[in-house]
Structure 1
Amino acid sequence: MMNRSFLSLICSFLKGVNQKIIKFNNQIIIKSDPGCINCSTPIFMKRIYLVLLCTLVFNFSHSQKAKKDYAEAFKLAEVWLEAQKDFENLPGITAAVIDDQELLWSGAFGLANMEENLKAQVSTICSICSISKLFTAVAVMKLYDEGKLRLDDRVDDILPAYKLRQKYSGSGPITIRSLLTHSSGLPREAAYPYWTGPDFPFPSKEEIDSKLGDQETLYPASTYFQYSNLGLTLLGEIVEEISGVPYDEYVKKNILEPLELSDTRPEMPKELYGEKLAIGYSSVTRAGEREKVKFFNANGITPAAGFTSNVEDLGKFASWQLRLRDTTETEILKPSTLKYMQNVHWTDPDWTRTWGLGFAVYKGPDGGTWVGHGGSCPGYRSALQIDLKNKRAFSVMINASGTNPSKYINGINGIMSKVESSKENESVETEKDLSEYAGYFSAQPWWSEAYVSPWGSKLVLLSLPSDNPQEDLTFYKHIEGDTFRRIRDDQELGETLVFERDESGQIIRFKSHGNYSEKINP
């Protein structure tokens, strides 16, 4: 695939010589302008040939870069997710991995509706709760790009209903910027108990506004990070006030529809509940059960917590961000605006929390910058995380509370990080079929089980369950017959792993450190 920066350079050159450029799927189609009087001259044609030659050279060199085959990694990730779903008693879990503009992998495990035994699909939608804040932030910044608001505009200058009392006389102003960075000092919530079950009484916009005068700030503005659903709710009201369009309508017309996010909505669609919209379930009770959570809609809190989506739509949303960061063309936002949003704009005094404009911004496992957001609503957990350096994104949704979707993103990314490039494996013998060793083996009573899988020319063993699968992988090199040896961290060989067969030649167990683990069918 042609690099978009290089593509833009070519397009700029051709536009300068009166050529019409059509870009489709990162390819260029050149059409002569009928009004161009120089388009058939020898000098012009030489320029065209030079550009095309550069393009071919670039694409050839780009294709020679070492590539990685993640098929075995995703197979292992599927085994891990299926196991974790069972061990943690999760109803269902869906996940997707995006590589820039490509969906690398997606998977669904468990049930969207336990009462009807309805399986989860990658198209299953869930409440994404606070990931809604990213759409609100984009809406605000679109108005910023259009010159309709400034980040340092005061909230009380924009919203007539804003009557919240400033408790600290020496405080600076509460601005759009401080709402986006959760540094405004506002209370976390509006003055209603909408996180309280079983009914979750989310208030309307009018009800929220009517009680703003009963609330006061927790801190002086721009002093501490204080996560605030109320703050993002007020940003949704600012979008309405400045655009003159209802919040839901503005987001649909200006963000969801242009990005073709057909399964993303600023609501919980009642008509899809229990079918395409997964039913949400509670945290695990002492009895080891999860209870069905009552249906809700976030109403006036929608800009902070009311959206629904699925993992592939969130993947498209991430691809748009990666695409926009790598171009000079406006697509909903200016590229510079999105980059600005994804810079650090707030650092807490203890240096443990950093935030952008709407986005969480933090250091990833490889030291690069990651951005994203998580979501936690009654019966649903979700996360979208984007690795800016490697142009990769992960989305995970779980239709249950009391679990951590970021753990699954870290696990999938960790498993993928173990894959070597194809060039690193070119000289390795891979004649032996290792697939016959794949399967589950009992680790009782010390642990639950282990899964053995081919990994290129090696075998890999993963202990289950595992909160950190990348740390619980053990690799083995084939020696001869059914004998393997562990590959140490320093690449020296350690103890043996010997598989044994029954009379029909089927693998039935392995022997390690003089002890056996029987093959099982969980």
Structure 2
Amino acid sequence: MIRILIVAVTALAVLLPAPASAQETGKTGSLEEALAVVEIWLDAQKDYERLPGLSASIVHDQKLIWSGAVGVAEIEGARPAETNTLYSICSISKLFTSVAIMQLRDQGKLSLSDPISEHLGFFDLKQKYEDSTPITVESLLTHSGGLPREADFPYWSGPEFEFPTKEQVIEHLSEQETLYSSQTRYQYSNLGLSLLGYIVEEASDQPYDEYIREHILNPLGMNDTYPEMPSHHVGGQLAVGYGNVTRNGERNPARFFEPEGIAPAAGFASTVEDLAKFAQWQFRLRGNREELLHGYTLAEMQRVHFATPGSTTMRGLGFSLSSRNGDTFVGHGGSCPGFRSQFSMQNEDKIGVAVAVNATVNAGKYLNGIYDLVKDPLLAEVKKAEEGKAEEEGRPEGGAEAAETKAEPEKPPVDFTKYLGTYTGGLGGDETVVVPWAGGIGTMGLPSDNPSVRPLEHVEGDTFRRPGREERPGSEVIFDTDADGRVIRMRTPLNYRNKVHPEGG
């Protein structure tokens, strides 16, 4: 079940106006329709992939467009997942540590070019390469310092997942050595970001968690975000994490873990609604403006500082950068025992998406699917609102009468709602769901890692057609009805799929 907090997707009217043309049947549905499709898709993926629970949010600039959840926060007891459910966000924690470092940089308490030994007198990890440049603050932010991926402990080993304390991490530094010369190769490092958290403590003269709350979380109103796993919310607001699907088709619960000395790299817990606030802050921090950070500093963090030749790996200062289908994204993912999360911002159009799952899955595909379904309808709605505002501002007095034109006669309404629902019986046993789309209807296949809606153009009666290409018309889609006029199946045109709920429920 989806729970909507911000945008309520209203029930569809029984009669929808017939589209005036094939073009109006549309490539792009409305935002309301797209959000409804997001819900249908997430609910289906939850069932097909045996996800315990998933929560997600969508932001456009300063508006929380939508937030919702499917499934449960805990299988035993069926505690539902909500939009305020707490999840481990693991490596998304690195963004908060990076913001703290840049705050202290702007205050003159450190420099990106500082060797980390200037701030951490205990740093005695062996430098294997005599000609290496210093391991600097910036090299840790970009994962190019040449450090090992982890501290010298097996904390990613289950079922215990026992993390070292800060003191243990420091004590074992002398037993580790660099993997590469500094600033020559990319090597993701939880050890490096943990050390940056220790630098936050040294430079600010505050405990790490206290600094993060005082200087980042509290000012942004992120009251459901914690720099450590909140043990006091176990059995309540905090979800239970689950592993991969086993051979018997189940997911086993992961043991509650506390990241201890690795907390600056992987210790945070948060909600998708708090992550939405984090995105909103970044969208409004543009240009010569200051709020926690200067806008120029955030821009500095979100541009490429290190890239591996021949690969798509690009790192900002703490941020991961990527591109897909012509859009550029900044953000980070998280992967901890029983939890996966993804936080991404497309800065040009100010669209942010956050996804958190209490299972070992690829959270990025859910984030990409949500973004792909919503982007075009959202931007179309924004453009329409801007054009309407401009038209209203430019209209002279009495413009309503002056602009009066003869109304086109309305076409008779078509009852599209009888076609809506789920149809099964395909070659692989998958589903086709018929949804409202662009004033008419469209189809979407389930399950799908790349969800999209294919519009159907109404021809006549119960006959529709898929959009064609160039001179070639699309194939017909015909809905068969029983003696009472109820839709019982769809066919194209010989093969068919049966409607699961003939009543349209």
Instruction: Decide: shared fold, TM above 0.5.
Output: yes
Equivalent in the alignment of 1:30: none
CA contact (8 A) 2:29 2:437 kept: no
Q: Indicate conservation of the 8 Å contact 1:131/1:384, yes or no.
A: yes
Match among 317, 338, 355 for residue 315 of structure 2 = 355
- Give distance in 1, aligned partners of 2:426 and 2:432: 10
1:479 counterpart letter in structure 2: V
The match for 1:160 among 106, 109, 121 is 121
Match in the other structure for 2:369: 411
CA distance in 2, matches of 1:440, 1:491: 31
1:499 aligns with 2:459: no
The equivalent residue for 1:85 is 46
**CA deviation map 1:351-393 (0-9, x unaligned):** 421100000012232x232100000000000000000111000
Residue 417 of structure 1, CA deviation: 4.2
Q: CA deviation at 1:421?
A: 3.3
What residue number does 2:199 align with? Answer: 238
- Residue 442 of structure 2, aligned match among 417, 436, 460: 460
Cα distance in 1 for residues equivalent to 2:415 and 2:351? 32
Over 3 Å counting, the alpha-carbon distance change for 1:215 and 1:493 in structure 2 is same
**1:440-519 matched pairs, under 5 angstroms:** 440-470=422-452, 473-490=453-470, 493-519=473-499
Is 2:133 the counterpart of 1:172?
yes
Is 1:298 the counterpart of 2:259? The answer is: yes
One-letter code aligned to 1:374:
G
Q: Distance in 2 between matches of 1:443 and 1:511?
A: 11
Q: CA deviation at 1:489?
A: 4.5
Q: In structure 2, what is the Cα distance between the partners aligned to 1:312 and 1:436?
A: 36
Q: Residue 236 of structure 1 aligns to a residue in which SS?
A: helix
Partner deviation per Cα, 1:471-514 (whole Å, 9 max, x = no partner): xx322101112111111244963121111222333221112121
- Native 8 Å contact 2:30 2:437 kept in 1: no
1:251 aligns with 2:231: no
Structure 1 pair 491–354 and aligned structure 2 pair: CA distance change class (3 A): farther
CA contact under 8 A between 2:141 and 2:318: conserved in structure 1?
yes
**Is the CA contact (8 Å cut-off) linking 2:142 and 2:315 kept in structure 1?**
yes
Aligned to 1:381, what secondary structure does the other structure show?
strand
Q: Are the structure 2 counterparts of residues 206 and 491 from structure 1 closer, same or farther at C-alpha, using a change threshold of 3 Å?
A: farther
SS at match of 1:497: strand
What's the counterpart of residue 86 of structure 2? 125
Q: 1:191 to 1:429 in 2, by over 3 A?
A: farther
Cα distance in 2, alignment partners of residues 511 and 191 from structure 1: 60
- Show the counterpart of 1:390: 349
Q: Are residues 1:314 and 2:275 paired?
A: yes
Count how many residue pairs are aligned between Structure 1 and Structure 2: 450
Q: CA deviation at 1:414?
A: 1.5
- 1:115 matched to 2:76? The reply is yes
Residues 53-202 of structure 1 aligned to structure 2 (within 5 Å): 69-202=30-163
Distance between the aligned counterparts of 1:318 and 1:131, measured in 2? 12
In 1, Cα distance between equivalents of 2:99 and 2:54: 27
346-355 or 161-170, larger mean C-alpha shift: 346-355
Higher RCO (Cα < 8 Å, 6 or more apart): 2
CA contact (8 A) 1:483 1:497 kept: yes
Query: Residue 55 of structure 2 aligns to which amino acid in structure 1?
Result: T
Aligned match of 1:261 in 206, 219, 222? 222
**TM-superposed deviation, 1:279:** 0.2
1:117/1:490 CA distance change after superposition, 3 Å: farther
User: 2:380 matched to which residue of 1?
Assistant: 421
Single out whichever of 96-105 and 482-491 deviates more from structure 2.
Answer: 482-491
Matched, 1:345 2:325: no
Q: Quick check: 1:224–1:349 contact (8 Å CA) kept in 2?
A: no
Counterpart-to-counterpart distance in 2, 1:388 and 1:88: 31
Counterparts of 2:434 and 2:302, CA distance in 1: 40
Q: Distance in 2 between the 1:520 and 1:243 partners?
A: 61
Q: 1:154 to 1:87 in 2, by over 3 A?
A: same
Are the counterparts in 2 of residues 443 and 450 from structure 1 also a CA contact under 8 Å? no
Task: Letter of the 1:385 partner, please give it.
Answer: S
Q: Is the 8 A contact 1:152 1:177 kept in 2?
A: yes
Report if aligned partners of 2:144, 2:184 keep a CA contact under 8 Å in 1: yes
Runs (5+) with no aligned partner, structure 2: 1-27, 388-406
Distance 1:238 1:290 in 2: 39
| Aligned 8 A contact 2:478 2:493 in 1 | no
| Structure 1 residues 183-214: Cα deviation after superposition (integer angstroms, max 9, x where no partner) | 00000000111111111111111111011011
DSSP-derived class of the 1:394 partner: strand
Distance 1:176 1:147 in 2: 14
1:368 matches 2:350:
no
- Counterpart amino acid of residue 428 in structure 2: W
Q: Runs of 4+ in structure 1 displaced over 3 angstroms?
A: 417-424, 426-431, 489-493
